[in-house]
Structure 1
Amino acid sequence: MSDRYTIEDLKTLMSRLRDPETGCPWDCKQDYRSIVPHTLEEAHEVADAIERADYVNLKDELGDLLFQVIFYAQLGNEDAHFDFDGIVDQQVRKLIRRHPHVFPDGTLASVVDPANRPDDAEIKASWERIKAEERASQAGAGSGATSQDESRLDGIAASLPAMVRAEKLQRRAASHGFDWPDITPVFDKLHEEIEELKEAWEHTQSQPDDRDALEDELGDLMFVCVNLARFLKVNPDQALRRTNRKFDARFRAIERVLASQGRDFDAQSLSDLDAIWQSVKGVEKTD
């Protein structure tokens, strides 16, 4: 017997947890929908560990995320929809199909001739073409939608986090020529949306219950910010998470400074807090 457990052991464990007579009551109650929040949480914890370069905990977080896949596979197996081996098989086939520049004969054993390797632009074009073919095939075999229902934006899940979906929508539209020619008009649009947001805010001062326009304009501004990030080749979600960490570190630093001086945070004026804020800038680079 091996000293280390395997993926087969993890599948067995999952099956045991779901046993209606001897399994775990909590696990037995779960379904596809109920574990989605846990899946999202585990994915975020993986990202957090990577961003903190916490590779000790990353191993544990990756295990938690893998367990989510095993859980879905067990549910699929119970419902006769799919099983773990089927998930693996489909994924390997898909990745071989999408990487003809690595697997030229469409088999895992095939090897590309480095002398005939396509350049990055050709690889990207091939990737997009293959994914478009997959979407067309899925649409034809799926919901029975007519050609009028089909869109070049099909396949971008509505349940994605809003910022992630905004970027994917923009990238898909841009791949079909619907895009700004360069970054200059994006900056112009940013200023335009700020002014429109100000106008919407001013409107709510006299009509406080009419907030639809305010939400619309704020959403437009955020959408442009995502567009700007795309042109800057910056991941907007990662950039915001970085700012969140920076704010968290600086705020905690203010608390430490005040605590060391025996001062009550809530009793300080905004100007006093801002002065300490300015003094602790950069603390996140050493924490």
Structure 2
Amino acid sequence: MALTPPAYASTPATAFERLLTIMDDLRLNCPWDKKQTLESLRHLTIEEVYELSDSILAADMPEIKKELGDIMLHLVFYARIASETNNFNITDVLNGICEKLINRHPHIYGDVNVNDENDVKRNWEQIKLKEGNKSVLGGVPVSLPALVKASRIQEKARGVGFDWEEKSQVWAKVEEEMQEFRNEFNAEDETTIDHERAESEFGDLLFSLINYARFININPEDALEKTNRKFIKRFQYLENKAAENGKQLHDMSLDEMDVFWNEAKKL
């Protein structure tokens, strides 16, 4: 017998209640939803977050709304599964984040004075240490992609005052790391390099560039992804133009491909 779906909601509270009701219905009656576990949902949640990221970069508001809904479903799903073993429920989750936000914003819910966002970030990190974190960097997930992780490490270090004072100092560090990498891997020198040392120096160079990006308010992950998309668009233009001329890329010279590549850059 079919269930009657809960009515369309007109307020945040009733809309959230509607989602919880649907989640309960699915968990009890849908063969697929009944089988899911915290572990089985994990990779799906990661995929949904990347889809949200794609829609944000594309500035596609209808798609952003859709992806937020997908992620909201996952959050409710995790809480529902945990409630079945009496570990916690959605109310515990919501109260938990509310209490954390209240505690970590004493300038809003207490008598602490702040001058700017940097004061807020410093207070945030200090409060986390008081809550039991053994290290300022302890909250950086181990599995974060390296580029994102480098940004978060630097932000957290800055939160406790461990940072350069001027961006000119950071750029000097970039140039220093570039020279050290060049010493390990000179483009004009065909001598076999020490791969491990070159890799280490290249990592240092990337880390310093990410640091400089932070000083000039550029998100390195966003910047690189936009460059990736730009390259894909231009490369696909190159492929299409080659096909229109009855050619395969592997049969073309680099000079021939450059003609189409330069056309793509003008689009």
Whole-Å separation in 1 of the counterparts to 2:242 and 2:124 = 58
Distance 1:138 1:78 in 2: 29
Q: Is the 8 A contact 2:104 2:123 kept in 1?
A: no
Q: Please name the residue that 1:32 is paired with.
A: 38
- Give the CA deviation at 1:52: 1.1
CA spacing shift, 1:166–1:243, aligned 2, 3 Å:
same
Amino acid at match of 1:2: A
TM-score for the superposition, normalised by structure 2? 0.81
Residue pair 1:98, 1:127 contacting (<8 A) in 2 also: no
1:237 aligns with 2:244: no
The residue number in structure 2 matching 1:181 is: 165
2:138 counterpart SS class: coil
Structure 1: how far apart are the matches of 2:190 and 2:181? 11
Rounded to whole Å, the distance in 1 between the matches of 2:170 and 2:260 is 35
- Deviation readout 1:155-194 (Å, 9 max, x if unpaired): 2222222222211211222233322232223223223323
2:16 aligned with 1:11, yes or no?
Answer: no
1:182-226 Cα distance to aligned partner (Å, 9 max, x none): 22232232233233334444699536xx63323322221211111
Q: Displacement of 1:120 after TM fit?
A: 4.6
Inter-CA distance 270–174: structure 2 relative to 1 (3 Å threshold): same
1:63 equivalent among 64, 69, 74: 69
Give the drift of 1:227.
0.4
* 2:17 counterpart letter in structure 1: E
Shift of 1:242: 1.2
How many residue pairs get matched?
256
Alignment of 1:1-287 (within 5 A): 2-4=7-9, 6-19=15-28, 22-25=29-32, 27-103=33-109, 120-121=115-116, 124-139=118-133, 150-201=134-185, 206=192, 211-283=195-267
Counterpart Cα distance in 1 of 2:251 and 2:66: 41
| CA deviation after TM superposition for structure 1 residue 32, in Å | 2.9
Q: Do the aligned partners of 1:135 and 1:154 also contact (CA within 8 Å) in 2?
A: no
Deviation by residue 1:20-67 (Cα, 9 ceiling, x = unmatched): xx5434x44543344332222211211211221222222221111112
Using the size of structure 1 for normalisation, the TM-score is: 0.76
- Once the two structures are superposed, residues 209-260 of structure 1 have per-residue CA deviations (whole angstroms, 9 ceiling, x without a partner) of x633233222212111110111111111111111112112211222233333
User: For residue 258 of structure 1, what is the amino acid of its counterpart?
Assistant: A
**Pair 1:82–1:156, CA change in 2 (3 A):** same
Q: Show structure 2 runs of 5+ residues with no match.
A: 1-5
Q: Name the CA distance, whole Å, in 2 between partners of 1:204 and 1:39.
A: 46
User: 1:61-109: per-residue Cα shift (whole Å, max 9, x none)?
Assistant: 111111221122123212322211211122223223334555559xxxx
Identity of aligned residues (%): 34
TM-fit CA distance, 1:128: 2.7
Shift in CA distance, 250/103, structure 1 to aligned 2, threshold 3 Å: same
- Alpha-carbon RMSD across the aligned residues, in angstroms, is 3.0
Inter-partner Cα distance in structure 1 for 2:92 and 2:42: 20
Work out the CA distance in 2 between the residues paired with 1:212 and 1:75. Answer: 46
C-alpha distance 275-120 of structure 1, shift in aligned 2 (>3 A): farther
* Structure 1 CA distance for aligned equivalents of residues 52 and 145 of structure 2: 16
Q: Which has the higher contact order (CA 8 A, sep 6+)?
A: 2
Give the 3-state SS of the residue equivalent to 1:153 in structure 2: helix
Contact 2:80/2:90 (<8 A) preserved:
yes
- Matches of 1:225 and 1:266 in 2, distance apart? 34
8 Å CA contact 1:17–1:28 kept in 2: the answer is yes
Tell whether the 8 Å contact from 2:125 to 2:160 is kept in structure 1 after alignment. Answer: no
Q: Which amino acid aligns with 2:192?
A: S
- 2:246 & 2:66 partners in 1: Cα distance? 39
Partner Cα distance (1:158, 1:43) in 2: 17
Q: Which SS does the other structure have where 1:262 is aligned? A: coil
